[in-house]
Structure 1
Amino acid sequence: MRSVQDQLAAVMSAVGPVAPLDVVLHDAMGAILAEDVAATLSVPPVAVAALDGYAVAAADVAPGGSALPVAVDLRAASVPGLRHVQGQAIRVASGAPLPWGADAVVPVEASDRGTATVQLAGGVRPGQHVRLTGADVPAGQVVLRAGTRLGARQLALAAAMGRGRLRVHPTPRVVLLAVGDELVEPPTKGPAPTSAGDGRVFEADGHGLEAAVRDAGAHAVRVGVLPDDRALLREALEDQLVRADLVLIAGGLSELVHDPVKDVLATLGGVRLDHVAMTPGPRHAFGSVGGELGRDRSIPLFALPGHPVAAQVAFEVFVRPALRQMAGHAEVFRPSVAAAVDTGWTSPPGLRQFVPATVLGAPEEGYRATPLGDPAAPSILGLAQANALAVVPEADVVVHRGQVVHCMVLEG
């Protein structure tokens, strides 16, 4: 058997960030910035009013207040360069360029809102309610660092600097294939079914993995269910590689004669099939495909066990970190906490065991973990209710009540 650590090391050494690409801001959401961004202009480019009011020279307003003639109105779109005349006020909108010679803005609330002459309250200070040139962003400053995940705030900053495009690591595109004659799509209409049919089960892997891919920050393309047919599987791979940065196959990986995945992958020299020393789901395949199928680039390929719990666990342990690395994230692994278990169980020797669990607590008081269901046969219900995976090392054959284990946190 191959150890979990060796399998993970092989995966992480084989995948790198997707090649950088210049994209418009709309398409940059959620992507990782591929280069530093420096401001080529100051924001604001000139001193502006910070709120609606009256631009004045602070010295013109007496401590007890003053009445000043209103010379003109300035809007946010007004051209900079108007000169302020001593002893006058200029009504300004928020964001309007401050006239030359004015050094403060009196809020409209601190006035009688006059249009020809305005009565202003006293106590005006130079610089009051004025945003100076470069107050938000000075020209030349690096404002976004490579490796930053671009969200609403970062895209607003880029737009404010006039950057309509950014160079990013594109979101990886993941093609999902579920394999098995027994699989049936859950119905989208009618009452909840009581059965999938004789010898059939509802297809869960594709739906669960599609959501997991999206949660990891990648783009999922779910092809649907394929039968246990070698020719159809190979044809699907050939068709889908053109739009994939990674291929994910679930099911069809057993050593029985009718399961096609192992046979098709065996013809692709860059894919390795292994028993990984873990439970649930020890049978895995990983490698790269492309040249053997007539493509000009190699694409990482994972084949995961068909049981929904095993598939989700394998995704968390191997595929999610790979996708995060491909997307350019600095943090690729789930956080983990040490938690004391509130019940004991046995663990198979030589295998790293992943147990769905609920983890509760806080750093100052410590964490406690409760396994959900039978650790020896984790259920999809238990996994759905879990917020973590308790990880039992290969050397531990018994987990005692109160023992501290590391838990991979799946949810906040």
Structure 2
Amino acid sequence: MAFECAGPLGPERVPLAEASGRTLAADVVALQELPHYASSAMDGWTVSGEGPWTLTEPGRPLRNGEASPVVTGGVIPPGTQSVLRVESGRLTTSPAGRALLMLGDGASPGEPRPGQHIRKSGEEAAAGEVLIPAGTALNPAHIALAAVSGFDQLVVRRKPLVKMLVTGSEVVTASIPEPGQVRDAFGPQLRTVIQMLGGVPGPLVRIGDSYEEWLTALGASEAPMGQWPDVVVTTGGTGRSGADHFRNAVAALGGRLLIDGIAMRPGHPAALGKLPNGRFVVGLPGNPLAALMALFTIGGPLLAALGHQPLPGVSRVLCGTTIDAHRASTRLLPFRWVNGLAVPADFTGPGMMRGLASADGVMAVPSRGAQLGEPVPAFSLPWCPPLQPRLPGDLVWGD
């Protein structure tokens, strides 16, 4: 199933220091010749004609039989025929008391040859030549090339900025929770997971359980990092009780639901909304495992679609046990590899994280169940190596 409700975001300009790892959205074209002047490749002397050479001031045009000192990267003055490296020359004094440059004992036969040790202007690139094509995943060498070419910023494909809204009056952020309290399982890891899924983590806001707090937090118009959030990810409040406000808050802000629950366990109360300003709202259940399953299945494809990335891949694995039918819901079961088979992990209740913490991937077991050795769909976890295709016809989301 293709994720059709979102399209790629427009490009943005970022400073060079922030561009590594991003994908270039427009060609980087040489603004001028590269290098833009003829320079010396060695410390030594620029020389004209055959030696010995009369020494002149640095930088002035040379006449036949003259030389001037130069350092690596120094400008080659007009009239220069070559550069004599410092190891190949020696300075002496003429009978008239003038400084002379002569070949030294370290000079190679035929040195200096015409053009030797001169970096010509334009030898790396001509003005207007494409240096880095659009679509390139930028690495540090690309950044250095852009810098020496005179660029301060690059145009890259924009990644979606994600605001996180963690809800629950019973949630505490430190120490051992008291009865009736729960430790925050989202704050310490949600930023990292969103980044792994291709988003840019923005602000993390904590609120209680009241409708007014929900409405204020979802409708807030803050602009962190110089832009509006493209996506808001909420935790909790997606159920159907009077204490769950996700749907009512989205509706009150003029939004609409694109996904209103999914036939999967855990994570079935998950929802996806879109507000009139174009902002997407991903509603995750309050239980940690259920929330992450929903984030992988809804948030991952959404962030990929917005951020110009391929949709997450789905492979197939051989089930390592018999799994009974479960009404009408697909079950997302964290699994571990055992002798080449995918065996469901222990401790995978909606509020448990122990099973996922040791898992190699997630199986999507159909409602009819699965038999030992049967191929079942599966996807990798963002922090685990990708699942390698194991069977003919393995699929990718969107096929």
Relative to the length of structure 1, the TM-score reads 0.73
Residue in 2 that maps onto 1:64: none
Structure 1 counterpart SS, 2:187: helix
C-alpha contact (below 8 Å) 2:33/2:127 kept by paired residues: yes
CA distance, structure 1, for counterparts of residue 45 and residue 370 of structure 2: 76
C-alpha contact (below 8 Å) 1:246/1:300 kept by paired residues: yes
Pair 1:219-2:200 in alignment: yes
Which of 226, 230, 236 is the equivalent residue of 1:251?
A: 236
Which of 140, 145, 156 is the equivalent residue of 1:157?
A: 145
Residue in 1 that maps onto 2:29: 38
C-alpha contact (below 8 Å) 2:250/2:273 kept by paired residues: no
Decide whether aligned partners of structure 1 residues 401 and 155 sit closer, same or farther in structure 2, where only a CA change above 3 A counts: same
Pair 1:333-2:311 in alignment: yes
Which of 146, 151, 154 is the equivalent residue of 1:166?
A: 154
CA distance, structure 2, for counterparts of residue 335 and residue 94 of structure 1: 51
Pair 1:288-2:274 in alignment: yes
Residue deviations 1:251-275 (CA, integer Å, cap 9, x gap): 1212233222233234444224423
Residue in 2 that maps onto 1:198: 179
C-alpha contact (below 8 Å) 2:45/2:70 kept by paired residues: yes
C-alpha contact (below 8 Å) 2:347/2:355 kept by paired residues: no
- Equivalent residue pairs, number: 366
CA distance, structure 2, for counterparts of residue 286 and residue 276 of structure 1: 10
- Residue 157 of structure 1: CA displacement? 2.5
State the one-letter code of the partner of 2:55: A
5+ long unaligned stretches in structure 2: 93-99, 386-399
- Residue 201 of structure 1: CA displacement? 0.8
- Residue 126 of structure 1: CA displacement? 5.0
CA distance, structure 2, for counterparts of residue 401 and residue 106 of structure 1: 74
**Structure with greater contact order relative to length (CA < 8 Å, sep ≥ 6):** 1
Decide whether aligned partners of structure 1 residues 231 and 42 sit closer, same or farther in structure 2, where only a CA change above 3 A counts: same
CA distance, structure 1, for counterparts of residue 56 and residue 342 of structure 2: 71
C-alpha contact (below 8 Å) 1:347/1:397 kept by paired residues: yes
C-alpha contact (below 8 Å) 1:335/1:409 kept by paired residues: no
State the one-letter code of the partner of 1:257: G
Q: Give matches, 1:11-410, under 5 Å.
A: 12-26=3-17, 28=19, 31-55=22-46, 60=50, 68-69=52-53, 71=55, 83-86=61-64, 90-100=68-78, 102=80, 104-105=82-83, 107-108=85-86, 110-111=87-88, 117=101, 119=104, 120-123=106-109, 124=111, 128-185=116-173, 187=174, 193=175, 195-240=176-221, 243-267=228-252, 268-290=254-276, 297-327=277-307, 329=308, 331-334=309-312, 343-346=320-323, 348=325, 351-357=329-335, 368=340, 371=343, 373-374=345-346, 377=349, 379-386=352-359, 388-392=360-364, 394=366, 397-398=369-370, 400-401=372-373, 406-408=378-380, 410=382
C-alpha contact (below 8 Å) 1:273/1:283 kept by paired residues: no
Structure 2 counterpart SS, 1:224: strand
C-alpha contact (below 8 Å) 1:354/1:391 kept by paired residues: yes
CA distance, structure 2, for counterparts of residue 162 and residue 229 of structure 1: 53
State the one-letter code of the partner of 1:326: L
CA distance, structure 2, for counterparts of residue 272 and residue 204 of structure 1: 27
- Residue 337 of structure 1: CA displacement? 6.1
Residue in 2 that maps onto 1:293: none
Structure 2 counterpart SS, 1:134: coil
Structure 2 counterpart SS, 1:16: coil
C-alpha contact (below 8 Å) 1:336/1:409 kept by paired residues: no
Structure 1 counterpart SS, 2:169: coil
Residue deviations 1:264-307 (CA, integer Å, cap 9, x gap): 234444224423233331222112113xxxxxx22111111222
- Residue 200 of structure 1: CA displacement? 1.2
CA distance, structure 2, for counterparts of residue 99 and residue 173 of structure 1: 52
CA distance, structure 2, for counterparts of residue 392 and residue 305 of structure 1: 18
C-alpha contact (below 8 Å) 1:347/1:392 kept by paired residues: no
C-alpha contact (below 8 Å) 1:359/1:368 kept by paired residues: yes
Decide whether aligned partners of structure 1 residues 410 and 20 sit closer, same or farther in structure 2, where only a CA change above 3 A counts: closer
Aligned sequence identity (%): 27
CA distance, structure 2, for counterparts of residue 226 and residue 219 of structure 1: 21
Structure having the higher Rg: 2
5+ long unaligned stretches in structure 1: 61-66, 188-192, 291-296, 361-366
State the one-letter code of the partner of 1:38: V
Decide whether aligned partners of structure 1 residues 174 and 211 sit closer, same or farther in structure 2, where only a CA change above 3 A counts: same
Structure 1 counterpart SS, 2:4: helix
Structure 1 counterpart SS, 2:166: strand
Structure 2 counterpart SS, 1:322: helix
Structure 2 counterpart SS, 1:283: coil
- Residue 227 of structure 1: CA displacement? 1.7
CA distance, structure 1, for counterparts of residue 291 and residue 118 of structure 2: 58
- Residue 202 of structure 1: CA displacement? 0.7
- Residue 122 of structure 1: CA displacement? 1.0
CA distance, structure 2, for counterparts of residue 348 and residue 131 of structure 1: 73
C-alpha contact (below 8 Å) 2:314/2:377 kept by paired residues: no
Relative to the length of structure 2, the TM-score reads 0.75
State the one-letter code of the partner of 1:16: G
Residue in 2 that maps onto 1:63: none
Decide whether aligned partners of structure 1 residues 113 and 259 sit closer, same or farther in structure 2, where only a CA change above 3 A counts: farther
